[in-house]
Amino acid sequence: MKVLPALYVAAAITGFSQPPGTPLFTSEEPITIRLNFSIKELKRNTNDTVYTASVLAYKTESGTWDSIRIDLRARGHFRRANCSFPPLKVKIKKGQGDKTPFAGNKNLKLVIPCQTGKSYNDLVLKEYLAYQLYEQVTPYYFNTRLVNLTLIDGRGKNAKTHELAGFFIEDDDLVAKRLKGKPYESTKVHPMKLADTVTMMLDFFQYMISNTDWSAVQLHNIVVFQLKSQQLIPVAYDFDMSGLVNAPYGQVSELVGTSNVRERVYRGFCRNPELFDYARAEYLKLEPELLDVINRFDEKLSSRDVSDTRRYLGEFFNTLKSDKSFNEQIVQKCRK
């Protein structure tokens, strides 16, 4: 008997009509901001509950500057230890965001480059591209907004100024509000308890961008939301270790048996064969839209990077178009 992926079909109808969220995420234009803090001091503090008071200055639509008070802390254990700049968590003080582009946001993730230089700024843009691709394959995602960031490290004559690309990621609570659900209150989840077709689309996406730095079971770089229907919906984030980004610091999970981030390994769990066929067909239908997303980065990335990304995704679609490759590389590699 054929299994009909009713949950995903319903989500595809209703999910994309969800409100875009707060004003910060209603525009695709980069927002220009300035931050001034000591990177050394921020990285030194490894307590995730302790924040550093700071100010976020931003350029308004009229071209003038305004500011709000915020608290900052570093995110990410690997990046904190191996990069000049760690990803940031931004907490907006109560009332500060009112009547500003940040209205409605209490917490934001801010992704910035690992190091200085255009090549590292481009890596951030590639990760942002991954988020844009993810929006095409599922109605369950984190909103993002590009950032042009002037980061002043330190104060006085020893201060250093860096011009960085970055992007904001919306907070879990806002995603839950959009989905009319709540974050799942657990540190682990059995994979078979997750909504099957939504999860399958996520598994295919992680394979498409060649990302192994995630776990739905351990909730690593995955947030699970519980809808009013009690269905558990996984939403992925943090794609900087993927083959699509291909960062020089990229690492592969030691569980997958390869050391090359560009070598795809399917890490989804085994499910009904009809679900594999459904996800395969959906991705093949989405191929033009996904390639169009890449084309929209013509002015953000070099022609070489755009061509390489198109070729890399093309390899994924070639796998789907071949019965032999699809069975050998995906269906037979699923985790039991």
C-alpha span between 223 and 161 (Å, rounded)? 34
Q: What is the pLDDT of residue 18?
A: 56
Residue 247 has pLDDT above 60, yes or no: yes
Q: What is the DSSP letter of 217?
A: T
Instruction: State yes or no: pLDDT of 9 exceeds 80.
Output: no
Report DSSP letters for 91-160, one per residue. EEPTTTTTTSTTTT-SEEEEE--SSSSHHHHHHHHHHHHHHHHHHHH-S----EEEEEEEEEESSGGG-E
Q: What is the mean pLDDT of residues 94-123?
A: 95
Q: How many CB atoms lie within 10 A of CB 94?
A: 9
State the pLDDT at residue 3.
Answer: 43
Do residues 129 and 297 lie in contact, with contact meaning Cβ atoms separated by under 8 Å? yes
Residue 136 in this model has a pLDDT that exceeds 60: yes
Maximum average pLDDT range among 19-28, 155-164, 240-249, 256-265: 240-249
pLDDT at 10: 41
From first CA to last CA, the distance across the chain in angstroms is 22
Q: What angle do CA 184, 186, 187 make, to 5 degrees?
A: 125
Predicted confidence band at 321 (pLDDT cuts at 50, 70, 90)?
A: very high
Of 103, 139, 109, 134, residue with least CA distance to 24: 103
Strand bridging mode 31-37 / 144-153: parallel
Per-domain residue ranges of the chain: 6-18+180-333, 29-173
For β-strands 144-153 and 107-111, DSSP reports them as: unpaired
- Considering only residues 47 and 295, tell me which one the structure prediction assigns the higher pLDDT: 295
pLDDT for the residue 90? 97
Rg from Cα positions in the chain: 20
Which residues have CB under 8 Å from 246's CB, separation 6+? 123, 126, 261, 262
C-alpha distance from residue 283 to each of 46, 88, 325 (Å): 41, 33, 15
pLDDT tens across 201-230, in order? 999 999 999 999 999 888 999 999 999 999
Quote the CA–CA distance of 261 and 249 in Å, as a whole number: 10
> How many CB atoms are closer than 10 A to CB 311?
9
Q: Which two tokens stand for residue 249?
A: 């610091």
Q: Which amino acid, one-letter code, is at 251?
A: Q
pLDDT attached to residue 5 = 46
- The reported pTM is 0.93
Average pLDDT on 303-308 reads: 96
pLDDT tens digits for 46-105?
788 889 999 999 999 999 999 999 999 998 778 888 899 989 999 998 899 999 999 999
Question: 55 by DSSP, 3-state: which?
Answer: strand
Rounded to 5°, the CA angle 66-71-74 comes to: 120
The average confidence (pLDDT) of the chain is 91
pLDDT value at position 155?
A: 80
pLDDT bucket at 4, cuts 50 / 70 / 90: very low
Q: Are strands 31-37 and 52-59 parallel, antiparallel or unpaired?
A: antiparallel
On the question of pLDDT at 133 being above 80, the answer is yes
Look at 7 and 272; give whichever has higher pLDDT: 272
